[in-house]
Amino acid sequence: MPLSLMIARVLRLLLAAGALSGLVLAALWWSGKPPKETQGIWITNGYGLVFDISPVSIAIHEITPVSCIPWQTMPAHMGMVRRLAGYTFTAQGDDLSIAVADAVGDMRAYRVDALPDQCVNGRQAGPLETFDIFWRTFETHYPNFARYGVDWDARRDEAMAALAGNFDPKHLSDVMTHAVRDLDDGDIHLMTPSGDVSPHSPAPWDKDQRALWQVTDSYLTSERQFIETSGIRHGWLDGEIAYLGVHHMESEPPLGQTMASQAARVVDQLGALYADAKGVIVDLRFNAGGSDTVALTYAGLFSAADWPAGLKQTQITRGYMSPSTAFYGRGSQAALNAPVMVLTSSETSGAAETYVMAVGELAQVSIMGEPTNATPSNIMVRALPNQWQFTLPHQTYALANGTPVTQTGIAPDISYPFDVEGFSNGKDTMLEAALTRLAQAR
């Protein structure tokens, strides 16, 4: 056969194979497209988001009454969206439930006929409009003005007067920072080219965490171990008491898996290591939070079955909250039965407070230390037209019995101050008190 004919035959075979592969890929892609009942435009109750779901793409916009800023656009393949972006959509009539991986409780949305007007006929945003988006986001979603005694309407008037005639970016940043003064909330941040600013003032000792850890670790009678994927350092105290220093409530799962699944593997690992422990100390004094689902999974180290852990509400608009959503601790087959002391401080925040709420419902657990930071909430991350970003909390939490914790934090069972002077002398007196309590319980 002439070489030219051989080449032509090979090319035909390659083209046929390519066409077949393309058809297979197209069929696989088409099989993952959004169901017809899910397609359309949906506005969330709270969260300030619009989902525009078509057969080929999913576009998400951040909205306020005066703005619409594109946030994400992704291919509309439900399997890919679920595994890589963490969204699962379930439609029932004109209501949409949006489950988000590693978040507690689904977002709810309602169907609309068209994108909001501000998404279609938006105007170019200057400094005044940029501040207005910032202000309106807080006005709509932030639930804690009364806690800090802040008149948010007066803050807008003050800011608009300060901005008049001076549109320098640094000045705009200063005005925004001044607007949120006195909101001593660690979940509020403004990120600009000049840096990250927050109105929250952490405890003076917070900056010395690593030095304080070293004092605590000096009590270990075994080599300190560290679980890289979870930020947990651990070891034995007196050969019989397990010590777990939990730095944050996050984990690092493999691609396509959830943080909660990785956290469950950590629980299995710790359960096996400390199955013979006569007591456990969980140290959350330096824990600034992370994922609620990770926290609720870690709490399962002390319960074989799921249990009611607390309640949460999302602010829909100013003065109006969603119905309460219950959340649950996640039981584990690796659960330990030993008595537990959980150590807290004023810097125990966010999802670490969710953990305290959960384990506080268990009979074998006692909380020792200071009231927590009173900042449990998912965090909204919002963009501004000038590419700046800011964050704020938008939820309130309560214990399983309905007692609010967002205003006052979670009170310990056993009050004990964070002893800065003791640390400076090489002593962790709260840890020593917890060891004494566990010895008395045995």
The string of pLDDT tens digits covering residues 215-267 is 999 999 999 999 988 989 999 998 899 999 999 999 888 877 889 999 999 99
Residue 152 and residue 142: Cα distance in Å, rounded? 10
Residue 70 and residue 75: Cα distance in Å, rounded? 15
Identify the pLDDT of residue 15.
54
314 part of a folded domain: yes
* DSSP structural state of residue 162: H
Q: Which two tokens stand for residue 332?
A: 């584990």
Identify the pLDDT of residue 406.
87
Close Cβ partners of 81 (under 8 Å, ≥ 6 residues apart): 58, 74, 75, 87
Residue 214 and residue 346: Cα distance in Å, rounded? 20
Domain residues for 77? Answer: 36-120
Q: Which two tokens stand for residue 206?
A: 């917070």
Q: Where are the alpha helices (DSSP H) in 204-315?
A: 209-217, 259-273, 292-299
Residue 279 and residue 338: Cα distance in Å, rounded? 5
pLDDT at residue 22 is higher than 90: no
Instruction: Please report, rounded to a whole number, the percentage of residues in the chain having pLDDT higher than 70.
Output: 92
275 part of a folded domain: yes
**Is this model's pTM higher than 0.85 or not?**
yes
319 part of a folded domain: yes
Last residue of a domain, one of 99, 120, 141: 120
Give strand pairing partners of 358.
none
* 82-111 tens-digit pLDDT: 887 889 999 999 999 999 888 888 999 999
Average pLDDT of the residues of the chain: 90
Mean pLDDT of 124-133: 85
Could you write out the three-class secondary structure of 355-401? HHHHHCCCCCEEEEECCCCCCCCCEEEEECCCCCEEEEECEEEECCC
User: Do 138 and 265 share a structural domain?
Assistant: no
pLDDT at residue 67 is higher than 60: yes
Q: How many domains does the chain have?
A: 3
* CB-based burial label for 230 (10 Å; 0-12, 13-18, 19+): buried
2 part of a folded domain: no
* CB-based burial label for 280 (10 Å; 0-12, 13-18, 19+): buried
383 part of a folded domain: yes
Identify the pLDDT of residue 30.
57
29 part of a folded domain: no
User: Do 132 and 114 share a structural domain?
Assistant: no
Residue 206 and residue 200: Cα distance in Å, rounded? 12
User: Do 135 and 48 share a structural domain?
Assistant: no
198 part of a folded domain: no
Q: Which two tokens stand for residue 8?
A: 């032509």
Mean pLDDT of 152-162: 95
Instruction: Please report, rounded to a whole number, the percentage of residues in the chain having pLDDT higher than 90.
Output: 75
Which CATH number fits the domain that encloses residue 361? 3.90.226.10
pLDDT at residue 404 is higher than 70: yes
pLDDT at residue 412 is higher than 70: yes
Residue 175 and residue 198: Cα distance in Å, rounded? 13
pLDDT at residue 278 is higher than 90: yes
